[in-house]
Amino acid sequence: MSDPYASDLDRNPANYQPLTPLSFLARAGTVFPDHTAIIHGGLRRSYGSFYARARQLASALSRRGVGRGDTVSVLLPNVPPMVEAHYGVPMAGAVLHSINTQLDAGIIAFQLDHSDSKVVITDRALAPRMKDALALAKAQPIVIDYDDPEFPQSGDLLGSIEYEDFIADGDPDFDWLMPLDEWDAISLNYTSGTTGDPKGVVYHHRGAYLLALGNAVTMAMPKHAVYLWTLPMFHCNGWCFPWTLSALSGTSVCLRQVRQQPMWDALADHQVTHMCGAPIVMSTLLATPEAEKRALPGRVEFLTAAAPPPETVLADMREAGFNVTHLYGLTETYGPAVVNDWHQAWDGLDGRAQAMLKARQGVRYLPLEGLEVRDPQTMQPVPADGKTLGEVMFRGNVVMKGYLKNPAATEAAFAGGWFHSGDLGVMHPDGYIQLKDRSKDIIISGGENISSIEVEEVFYKHPDVAAVAVVAMPHERWGETPCAFVELVTGSTVTPEDLIAHCRTGLAGFKIPHRVVFEDLPKTSTGKIQKFALRERVRAL
């Protein structure tokens, strides 16, 4: 007999619509038109205005011939047009390509060409690099300048029109385009790979919708949450928070730069409830002179990723009024796909034990279906013993569509039906994963694997070490040995020999760095230490 539940119960427009985060803004714009959506300097923009402007942007793009499958590129700091682009670009059917504001002109040119960019919106402060990039690129996009009225910048105006003039041409009642299918692309983010050309990670409407809700549920974010933009929005679409905020009719507080006093002022003046950032943002907050700090209106939820938060930072953040949650993910997983989901029972542990537990990356985010540590050769899960190393793999609806125009890389990334992160880790008996290293960060010395993270952890226990990165240094006899690059705290008089002696207290002999170098560490805009630069550096030593 045929299945009665499969007959005469088909999809139709009444019971099936594509999932898209664009529907969040349509809702907030009509239900809470007067509520503040965006704060930037002295600017306050309501949801009614935000929704109208997003439609104007979509309309203006449409009038210039931009439509389904076209790429619109933005080189913008965390300013209102960046929030608007997260809606206005896909409302024209187009794909939002966010460019990392730290990249050099050559890589920007590569991205514009590879994505066949039709339009570029560029901040005036970043004009010099965009000018060089446009000169290098074959693509001939329409160029729109954003000349921030709140924070006037110097620099050329490159394009044919300024952003406000451009959208003034658009219809605020534009009948914006729903995706034809929730699998349609919504955005494009290039990974800053350490080798080869950057890969263009494509997100779809379905995943953006689900991760946006996943953020809200995971953090129990309330209606009208107030979010401070210390995480760059160009980074995995700000972990999808531009979409989460509209789902909650919340407020985005923009910040052009992560600086001490503006952050504290924003926290206090706008009663911020949530913010995200790499550990460097926490350090910047904590290092603020007392006179510039402000009293917080309530506990602030701080979501961090990129590196496990150290014990002292956790303690200092707690005392300062922040609750820190450790997340983990990759560009390929829309940002956060793993959360260090805290157990109430752990509250009773001492600071050191809590920091050890909080250093683990954790468990799958609610909208992720699978998170495992597997042997990439056999594709078998490793034992959940907290020791056996394997590759962290993801499966689910918040994994990218694939890499743009790169079927070989896409196929390799999805081999065996799982997304291969390239990160090495272990599975603890309680189901929490912990990263041990990037594959390429393993140092192989005399045939023995050395985890650079393990060596770094010992350095961090020394009170004078502010930051450290350990990379492989070529060695005639051992093949490789560890080399440590160290930033010391201000005023320290410690020597490399002191630190090597300190390492002997906590590391097997073969793991002790043969060399310790004191210098500032190169970091990405998100605070990630750029080990590839240090690997170049090590050859010059």
What is the contact surface with its own copies in residues (CB under 8 A)? 3-17, 19, 23-24, 27, 30-32, 34, 68-69, 95, 116, 183-185, 202, 210, 213, 216-217, 220-224, 247-248, 341, 343-345, 363-364, 366, 369-370, 394-397, 399-402, 404-407, 410, 413-414, 417-419, 431
**Bridge pairing between strands 95-98 and 185-191:** parallel
> Residue 75: exposed, middle, or buried by beta-carbon count in 10 A (0-12, 13-18, 19+)?
buried
Nearer to its own copies, 14 or 541 (CB): 14
Nearer to its own copies, 60 or 221 (CB): 221
Q: Which residue is associated with the tokens 């619109």?
A: 72
- Quote the least distance from Cβ 4 to its own copies, whole Å: 6
Nearer to its own copies, 90 or 279 (CB): 90
Residue type, 354: Q
Alpha helices (H) in 388-434, listed in sequence order: 407-413
- Quote the least distance from Cβ 287 to its own copies, whole Å: 31
φ, ψ (nearest 5 deg) of residue 137:
-80, 150
- Quote the least distance from Cβ 430 to its own copies, whole Å: 8
- Quote the least distance from Cβ 216 to its own copies, whole Å: 5
- Token couple for 168: 């003034």
Q: Which of 210, 238, 198 shows the shortest CA–CA distance to 403?
A: 198
- Quote the least distance from Cβ 265 to its own copies, whole Å: 23
- Quote the least distance from Cβ 162 to its own copies, whole Å: 29
Nearer to its own copies, 223 or 504 (CB): 223
> What DSSP string describes 249-264?
T-EEE-BSS--HHHHH
Nearer to its own copies, 236 or 470 (CB): 236
Nearer to its own copies, 294 or 395 (CB): 395
Q: Give the Cα separation of 355 and 310 in Å (integer).
A: 7
- Quote the least distance from Cβ 347 to its own copies, whole Å: 13
- Quote the least distance from Cβ 1 to its own copies, whole Å: 9
Nearer to its own copies, 15 or 490 (CB): 15
Is-contact 307 337, C-beta < 8 A? Answer: no
Q: Give the Cα separation of 411 and 148 in Å (integer).
A: 42
**Bridge pairing between strands 71-75 and 363-364:** unpaired
- Quote the least distance from Cβ 367 to its own copies, whole Å: 8
The helix (run of H) or strand (run of E) holding residue 525 is none
- Quote the least distance from Cβ 488 to its own copies, whole Å: 39
Nearer to its own copies, 346 or 356 (CB): 346
Nearer to its own copies, 19 or 107 (CB): 19
Tell me the helix, strand and coil percentages in the chain, rounded to 5: 35, 25, 40
Residue type, 99: I
Q: Where are the beta strands (DSSP E) in 205-262?
A: 226-228, 251-253
Is-contact 21 246, C-beta < 8 A? Answer: yes
Nearer to its own copies, 116 or 487 (CB): 116
Is-contact 185 95, C-beta < 8 A? Answer: yes
- Quote the least distance from Cβ 17 to its own copies, whole Å: 4
Nearer to its own copies, 347 or 497 (CB): 347
Q: Which of 247, 293, 251 shows the shortest CA–CA distance to 275?
A: 251
Q: Give the Cα separation of 23 and 493 in Å (integer).
A: 57
Please say whether the dihedral angle defined by the alpha carbons of residues 164, 166, 171 and 176, taken in this order, is positive or negative: negative
φ, ψ (nearest 5 deg) of residue 402:
150, -170
